[in-house]
């Protein structure tokens, strides 16, 4: 029954609000000293993925997966990469299709259920070194991908994958889409839709017969975007079918390695069904931690080592 009753996270004074915890790190955090080496790998369908490495010849590897419209250079990715590298791990922070600064080659892009790409990264990266242990770390969408990958059983799992840690995970995509459509989240929704529009416009140059952005301004929610673009491009009937198949919540009972899910109770992006208390109570593997504060991929902290609480917590769980 690995339901963690009390979290160790305490927010800084005056920064306990979920929106502040979400926004302040995005706007203000700087993470110096992360000098990635980029590697481009091919995918089985003729596309590519860009991987950013911190390598020192370690025996342990951390695979980092970012969130929606993120990349390996987001503050939370840089912070986690630096923390694991300092702790003696090799790190690979991978970029979802189209998120590395260059449009991908195929008409499809990334989505919350695309565990085939995570599998491609894990298999390739684990073969690059003499690793005895692999840990999977995911944020938001990347956390959903990680838990779905561990539980769905579609791919042969490398036996060196020993633990996973994920933060701010929309385990129930349909409910989270509805939560994001609320007036309180309009600032985030507007920003995400603007960024996704740029992706669509870039892909239109290569796929004018399959993509257009006519009347895009009428799209106001994730459900409308996913109905029009994500679902048909990736073989789903509609947004509801996409959410149903891609949500990790249904696979949590099948996770068979120690996995820590940290979802702050004041996360403005997450619906109540994204806190899988009963699944954690039933599972010997899924550890659920629900700090009162933390926001969405926030968990900011001020200390001399420059680490956020989420980075210390991840290292603690994997046994650094």
User: How many structural domains is the chain composed of?
Assistant: 2
pLDDT of residue 2: 79
Instruction: Verify that 7 and 115 share a domain, yes or no.
Output: yes
Instruction: Verify that 128 and 261 share a domain, yes or no.
Output: yes
User: Per the residue annotation, which of 7, 140, 176, 283 is the catalytic one?
Assistant: 140
Q: Any catalytic annotation for residue 140? A: yes
Among 191, 220, 246, the domain-final residue is 246
Which positions of the chain have pLDDT values less than 50?
none
Among 220, 246, 272, the domain-final residue is 246
Backbone φ and ψ for 10, nearest 5 degrees, come out as -125, 120
Give the domain CATH number at 301: 3.40.50.1820
pLDDT of residue 236: 98
Instruction: Verify that 74 and 193 share a domain, yes or no.
Output: no
Using alpha carbons, select from 122, 123, 120, 111 the residue that is nearest to residue 48: 120
pLDDT of residue 227: 97
User: Per the residue annotation, which of 75, 234, 287, 296 is the catalytic one?
Assistant: 296
Q: Give 136's strand partners.
A: 63, 164
Instruction: Verify that 241 and 129 share a domain, yes or no.
Output: no
Tell the burial category of 131 from Cβ atoms under 10 Å away from its Cβ (0-12, 13-18, 19+): middle
Instruction: Verify that 242 and 291 share a domain, yes or no.
Output: no
Tens digits of residue pLDDT in 122-176: 999 999 989 999 999 999 999 999 999 999 999 999 999 999 999 999 999 999 9
Instruction: Verify that 153 and 203 share a domain, yes or no.
Output: no
User: Per the residue annotation, which of 47, 226, 227, 267 is the catalytic one?
Assistant: 267
Rounded-to-integer distance, Cα 64 and Cα 145, Å: 11
pLDDT of residue 305: 86
Among 215, 246, 277, the domain-final residue is 246
Q: Any catalytic annotation for residue 117? A: no
Residue 228 domain boundaries = 173-246
Q: Any catalytic annotation for residue 226? A: no
The tokens describing 138, both together, are 């995911």
pLDDT of residue 1: 52
């Amino acid at each position: 029954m690995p339901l963690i009753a009390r979290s160790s996270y305490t927010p800084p004074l005056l920064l306990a609000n979920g929106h502040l915890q979400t926004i302040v790190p995005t706007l203000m955090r700087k993470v110096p000293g992360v000098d990635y080496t980029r590697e481009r790998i091919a995918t089985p369908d003729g596309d590519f993925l860009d991987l950013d490495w911190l390598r020192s010849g370690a025996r342990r590897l951390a695979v980092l997966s970012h969130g929606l419209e993120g990349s390996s250079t987001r503050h939370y990715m840089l912070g986690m990469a630096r923390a694991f590298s300092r702790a003696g791990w090799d790190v690979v922070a991978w970029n979802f299709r189209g998120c590395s600064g260059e449009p991908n080659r195929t008409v499809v892009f990334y989505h919350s259920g695309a565990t085939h790409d995570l599998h491609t990264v894990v298999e390739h990266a684990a073969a690059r070194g003499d690793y005895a242990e692999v840990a999977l770390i995911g944020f938001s969408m990347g956390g959903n991908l990680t838990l779905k990958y561990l539980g769905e059983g579609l791919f042969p799992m490398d036996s060196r994958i020993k633990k996973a840690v994920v933060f701010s995970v929309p385990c129930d995509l349909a409910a989270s889409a509805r939560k994001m459509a609320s007036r309180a989240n309009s600032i985030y929704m507007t920003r995400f839709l603007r960024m996704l529009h740029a992706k669509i416009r870039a892909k239109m140059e290569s796929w004018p017969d399959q993509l257009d952005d006519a009347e895009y301004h009428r799209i106001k929610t994730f459900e409308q975007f996913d109905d029009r673009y994500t679902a048909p491009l990736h073989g789903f009937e509609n947004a509801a079918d996409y959410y149903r198949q891609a949500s990790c919540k249904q696979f949590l009972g099948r996770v068979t390695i120690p996995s820590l899910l940290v979802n702050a109770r004041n996360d403005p992006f997450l619906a109540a069904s994204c806190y899988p208390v009963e699944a954690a109570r039933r599972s010997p593997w899924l550890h659920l931690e629900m700090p009162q504060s933390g926001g969405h991929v926030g968990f900011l902290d001020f200390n001399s080592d420059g680490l956020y609480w989420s980075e210390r917590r991840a290292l603690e769980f994997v046994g650094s």
